[in-house]
């Protein structure tokens, strides 16, 4: 339904000034009334297009929705995001991704990016609610990496690195990674990463990398659960950001790390993760399903587990749980 609208948009987007209806009809082989209908569709999607009888159609301002067309325009990848789907409102992109992987062969979906403008049932780590109003970046990437299940954490690491690097490059904000996969600016969380796996023996059938970035979100739209403090990019910068440019950058940064993982270069990923970690060498309080303790975060191992030295000297290996910098 929208394909033709985006072909019209491509023509308007590539033009230096107004384009007459006749030019569009002859380039696309459609009638003038079809052109008009496509322009109405584009307007409904948030594009500011003026029409004047003498001159034709003029694209005045792009939509600020996170539409695949806008991301594709800026995308420089070979696999990740070559296919994208957009949902104005959905419970969760993770749920859609899961359904797609059940309905068809996940290998055919490798690199597919699902984008939601808003999520009404967003899910965070440890099954928590992930508040996802319009203005954020809520995406799931379907991946079928040829790596063992035990290495799956590498994908999460690559996701956190990609988001931190993208924020640093686009805005010069000092984003860091708090173990296991929170992206923070100072002591406030701005983004989170969630990995869901489907396995067959020791092999990964598919994994779903969920990325949530609080981009253009006002402070009062964000939850304030203690003890974690939360922020958004627009709050930090005092202005809205170009979400399509940021997402394109995240996907590019992710793809280059994903290709390293596929070729077995795990050490490079771990080293980069460590260089962006705000947790290592910090005093931390760890809460797991079974215990709570304090100590110094001394390292992560090759499986992404955090190594914490208690005051007694005993080193604990933490696979999952909450980590608070004290």
Residues in the site for ligand BTN, rule: CB under 6 A?
Answer: 92-94, 119, 122-125, 128, 130, 132, 138-140, 182, 192-194, 210-212
DSSP string over 97-133: HHHHHHHS-GGGGTT-EEEEEEESS-B-GGG-B--B-
Tokens describing residue 19? 């384009």
For the CB of residue 189, give the shortest distance to ligand BTN in the complex, in Å.
7
Nearer to ligand BTN, 38 or 231 (CB): 231
Tokens describing residue 314? 């005993």
**Of 271, 275, 85, nearest in space to 177 by CA:** 275
Nearer to ligand BTN, 46 or 133 (CB): 133
CA distances to 78, 108, 155, 223, 294 from 159, rounded to whole Å, are: 17, 21, 6, 23, 27
For the CB of residue 122, give the shortest distance to ligand BTN in the complex, in Å.
4
Nearer to ligand BTN, 18 or 186 (CB): 186
Give me the residue whose beta carbon is nearest to ligand BTN.
192
Nearer to ligand BTN, 57 or 153 (CB): 153
Nearer to ligand BTN, 37 or 125 (CB): 125
Nearer to ligand BTN, 90 or 144 (CB): 90
Nearer to ligand BTN, 93 or 277 (CB): 93
| Strands (E) located in the chain | 48-52, 56-61, 84-90, 113-119, 137-143, 175-178, 182-185, 188-200, 203-213, 229-230, 283-287, 292-300, 306-309, 315-318, 322-325
Tokens describing residue 202? 């020791």
Q: What angle do CA 170, 139, 127 make, to 5 degrees?
A: 120
Rounded Cα–Cα distance for residues 131 and 124 (Å): 9
Rounded Cα–Cα distance for residues 187 and 119 (Å): 25
Nearer to ligand BTN, 20 or 228 (CB): 228
Contact 308, 286 (CB under 8 A): yes
Number of C-beta neighbours around residue 72 at 10 A:
15
For the CB of residue 302, give the shortest distance to ligand BTN in the complex, in Å.
23
For the CB of residue 37, give the shortest distance to ligand BTN in the complex, in Å.
33
Tokens describing residue 299? 């390292």
For the CB of residue 220, give the shortest distance to ligand BTN in the complex, in Å.
20
Give the containing element (helix H, strand E) for 165.
Answer: helix 153-171
For the CB of residue 123, give the shortest distance to ligand BTN in the complex, in Å.
4
Contact 139, 244 (CB under 8 A): no
For the CB of residue 196, give the shortest distance to ligand BTN in the complex, in Å.
9
For the CB of residue 106, give the shortest distance to ligand BTN in the complex, in Å.
17
């Amino acid at each position: 339904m929208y394909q033709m609208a985006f072909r019209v948009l491509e023509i308007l987007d590539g033009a230096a000034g107004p384009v007459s209806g006749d030019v569009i009809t002859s380039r696309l082989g459609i009638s003038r009334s079809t052109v008009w209908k496509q322009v109405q569709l584009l307007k409904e999607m948030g594009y500011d297009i003026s029409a004047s009888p003498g001159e034709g159609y003029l694209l005045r301002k792009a939509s600020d929705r996170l539409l695949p067309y806008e991301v594709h325009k800026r995308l420089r990848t070979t696999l990740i995001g070559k296919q994208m789907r957009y949902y104005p409102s959905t419970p969760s992109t993770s749920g859609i991704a899961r359904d797609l992987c059940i309905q068809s062969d996940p290998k055919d979906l490798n690199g597919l990016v699902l984008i939601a403008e808003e999520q009404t049932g967003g899910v965070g780590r440890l099954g928590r609610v992930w508040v996802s109003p319009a203005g954020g970046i809520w995406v799931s990437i379907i991946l079928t990496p040829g790596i063992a299940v035990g290495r799956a954490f590498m994908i999460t690491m690559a996701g956190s690195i990609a988001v931190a690097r993208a924020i640093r490059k686009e805005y010069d904000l000092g984003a860091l990674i708090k173990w296991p996969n929170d992206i923070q600016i100072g002591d406030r969380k701005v983004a989170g990463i969630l990995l869901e796996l489907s396995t067959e023996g020791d092999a990964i059938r598919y994994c779903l990398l969920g990325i949530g970035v609080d981009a253009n979100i006002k402070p009062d739209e964000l939850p304030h659960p203690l003890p974690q403090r939360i922020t958004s990019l627009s709050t930090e910068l005092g202005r809205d950001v170009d979400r399509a440019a940021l997402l394109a950058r995240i996907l590019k940064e992710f793809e280059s790390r994903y290709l390293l993982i596929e070729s077995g270069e795990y050490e490079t990923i771990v080293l980069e993760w460590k260089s962006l970690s705000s947790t290592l060498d910090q005093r931390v309080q760890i809460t797991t399903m079974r215990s709570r303790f304090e100590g110094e975060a001394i390292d992560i191992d090759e499986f992404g587990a955090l190594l914490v030295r208690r005051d007694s000297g005993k080193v604990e290996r933490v696979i999952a749980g909450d980590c608070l910098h004290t």
